[in-house]
């Protein structure tokens, strides 16, 4: 299977084999999740997907920003095989083994901050976020019960993490009361500023607002343990804050002794051209959470933080499967591959090219309202009218389905944004094929809606 062969649609999806699996899925699985289109996977290699009916697709999703070094990278597969032949499990929270220590050493090396660090391993992004909240509250020995998060955020669906999540009401509906003491502030979404202001004339009112209206009116800053944030908001729309935003938040947190927790579950592991997205703002957080792209598809999450902060007492936090040796071996190989194959450099090169292409499209396609991103974390917001910025929700749905039927697997985020998050080793040539198809589909939708 080569890049020359893709995309290749031999039967309109979903084909007969896919339909059979879709029917059985509906019968046997709880349908509490949302699927984008009827893609039923049979095989995935590199940046190419093959469905059960033989159709081939260009993957711009990377399993939702998970397969960072491409599907089934040979070095990752080999690392998994080697470890699987030794032992599969022996509970890191009760005993010791080397793969976890070796991975922890690598994570401490690549995370920002010239200070000693420690790592806690878990199984997912939601678990990592919940662990970070416990670490922050535990560091202050319960004296700071408040946690601050952002409107539009996605931090997971467990009871603690879903309290921080606020990207869609359905994620919280029926589950209240949630964790007490969590307050949300508006995210710096310049394209849709909550205060109807414009950057840079706004003078970063979004930061001053936190201080003047939250900390000085109803949220005691000396009782706030941490602010949990996505350096680039993921599910909320791949929203990139302005240049000084996180440095100003760092200063605000330092003024009140509040910890910064950077949720890098989607934005980390090289996706933005830096190991962690917060590095694009030259800011060092106190705690970082990772998952998704860390182990190329195996379940693994991690909390990495200042050694003095990562100080929960023995017995207060643990995970039977966290730091599974096979997952740790895969993650260690992922870090090696990203470095050896210069995938962060490739993310910048291909990402810059992709944003340039979309901005060129915007000159002739009125449907494109905003293009934003860093590296291979790119959002293209579709609007029905550029002046009113009315979200093009139906048009986006049509776009995703038409791209799928032509061999490009791409999904959305936020109100009405295209989400571009392919494996970090995608070539410009393959991305160009996908961009040509996406441009073709956007032009068709744009023309049809103006008739």
Determine if the pTM surpasses 0.75. yes
166/323 Cα distance (integer angstroms) = 28
Asked whether the predicted pLDDT for residue 5 surpasses 90, the reply is no
Asked whether the predicted pLDDT for residue 183 surpasses 80, the reply is yes
Residue count of the chain: 451
* Range from 163-172, 220-229, 262-271, 346-355 carrying the lowest mean pLDDT: 163-172
In this prediction, residue 105 carries a pLDDT of 98
Mean pLDDT in residue range 332-336: 98
Give per-residue pLDDT as tens, 57-76: 999 999 999 999 999 999 99
Give per-residue pLDDT as tens, 343-399: 999 999 999 999 999 999 999 999 999 999 999 999 999 999 999 999 999 999 999
Give per-residue pLDDT as tens, 414-423: 999 999 999 9
Higher pLDDT, 93 or 328: 328
Q: Average per-residue pLDDT in the chain?
A: 96
Q: Estimate to the nearest angstrom the gap between the alpha carbon of 160 and the chain centroid.
A: 18
| Burial classification of residue 137, based on how many CB atoms lie within 10 Å of its CB (0-12 exposed, 13-18 middle, 19 or more buried) | buried
pLDDT grade for 103, boundaries at 50, 70 and 90: very high
**What token pair was written down for 51?**
């469905």
Quickly list DSSP for 44-104.
EEBTEEEETTS-EEEESSHHHHT-TT-BT-HHHHHHHHHHHTT-S---TTTS--HHHHHHH
Residues 6+ apart with CB under 8 A from 267: 230, 231, 232, 234, 276, 277, 377
In this prediction, residue 448 carries a pLDDT of 87
Beta bridge partners of 149: 184
**What token pair was written down for 276?**
């962690």
Asked whether the predicted pLDDT for residue 192 surpasses 70, the reply is yes
Place of tokens 């500023």: 193
Asked whether the predicted pLDDT for residue 328 surpasses 90, the reply is yes
Give per-residue pLDDT as tens, 108-146: 999 999 999 999 999 999 999 999 999 999 999 999 999
- End-to-end Cα, the chain, rounded Å: 41
Asked whether the predicted pLDDT for residue 97 surpasses 90, the reply is yes
Mean pLDDT in residue range 213-241: 97
Give per-residue pLDDT as tens, 275-321: 999 999 999 999 999 999 999 999 999 999 999 999 999 999 999 99
Portion of the chain with pLDDT greater than 70, in percent: 99
**Closest listed residue to residue 72, CA positions, set 45, 95, 50:** 45
pLDDT grade for 42, boundaries at 50, 70 and 90: very high
| Burial classification of residue 118, based on how many CB atoms lie within 10 Å of its CB (0-12 exposed, 13-18 middle, 19 or more buried) | middle
Quickly list DSSP for 177-245.
S--TTEEEE----GGG-TT---TTTT-SHHHHHIIIIIITTTS-GGGEEEEEE-SSBTTTT-BPPPTTH
In this prediction, residue 449 carries a pLDDT of 75
Q: Which domains does the chain have, with CATH numbers?
A: 3-59+342-449 (3.90.1150.10), 76-340 (3.40.640.10)
In this prediction, residue 436 carries a pLDDT of 98
Asked whether the predicted pLDDT for residue 11 surpasses 60, the reply is yes
């Amino acid at each position: 299977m080569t890049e020359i062969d893709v995309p290749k649609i031999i039967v309109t999806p979903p084909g007969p084999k896919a339909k059979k699996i879709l029917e059985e899925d509906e019968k046997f699985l709880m349908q509490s999740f949302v699927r984008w289109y009827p893609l039923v996977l049979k095989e995935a290699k590199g940046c190419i997907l093959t469905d059960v009916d033989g159709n081939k697709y260009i993957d711009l999703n990377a399993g939702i920003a998970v397969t960072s070094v491409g599907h089934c990278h040979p070095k990752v597969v080999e690392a998994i095989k080697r470890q699987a032949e030794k032992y599969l499990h022996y509970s890191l929270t009760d005993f010791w083994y080397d793969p976890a220590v070796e991975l922890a050493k690598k994570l401490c090396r690549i995370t920002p901050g010239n200070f000693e660090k420690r790592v806690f391993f878990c199984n997912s992004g939601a678990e990592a976020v919940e662990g970070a909240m416990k670490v922050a509250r535990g560091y202050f020995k319960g004296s700071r019960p408040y946690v601050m998060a952002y409107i539009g955020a996605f931090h997971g669906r467990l009871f603690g993490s879903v309290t921080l999540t606020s990207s869609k009401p359905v994620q919280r509906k029926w589950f209240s009361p949630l964790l007490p003491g969590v307050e949300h502030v508006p995210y710096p979404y310049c394209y849709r500023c909550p205060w109807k202001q414009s950057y840079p004339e706004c003078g970063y009112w979004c930061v001053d607002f936190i201080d003047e209206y939250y900390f000085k009116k109803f949220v005691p800053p000396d009782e706030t343990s941490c602010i949990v944030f996505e350096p680039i908001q993921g599910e909320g729309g791949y929203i990139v804050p302005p240049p000084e935003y996180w440095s100003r938040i760092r200063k605000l947190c330092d003024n009140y002794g509040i910890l910064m927790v950077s949720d890098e579950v989607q934005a980390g592991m090289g996706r933005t051209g830096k190991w962690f997205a917060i590095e694009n703002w030259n800011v060092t957080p106190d705690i970082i959470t990772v998952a998704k792209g860390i182990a190329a598809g195996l379940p693994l999450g991690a909390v990495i933080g200042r050694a003095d902060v990562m100080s929960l007492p023995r017995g207060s936090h643990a995970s039977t499967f966290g730091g599974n040796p096979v997952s740790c071996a895969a993650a260690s190989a992922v870090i090696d591959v990203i470095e050896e194959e210069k995938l962060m450099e490739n993310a910048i090169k291909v990402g810059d090219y992709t944003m340039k292409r979309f901005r060129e499209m915007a000159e002739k396609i009125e449907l494109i309202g905003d293009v934003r991103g860093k590296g291979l974390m790119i959002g293209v917001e579709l609007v029905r009218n550029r002046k009113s910025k009315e979200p093009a929700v139906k048009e986006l749905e049509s776009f995703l389905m038409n791209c799928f039927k032509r061999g490009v697997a791409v999904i959305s985020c936020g109100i009405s944004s295209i989400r571009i998050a392919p494996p970090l080793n995608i070539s410009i040539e393959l991305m160009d094929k996908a961009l040509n198809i996406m441009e073709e589909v956007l032009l068709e939708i744009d023309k049809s809606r103006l008739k």
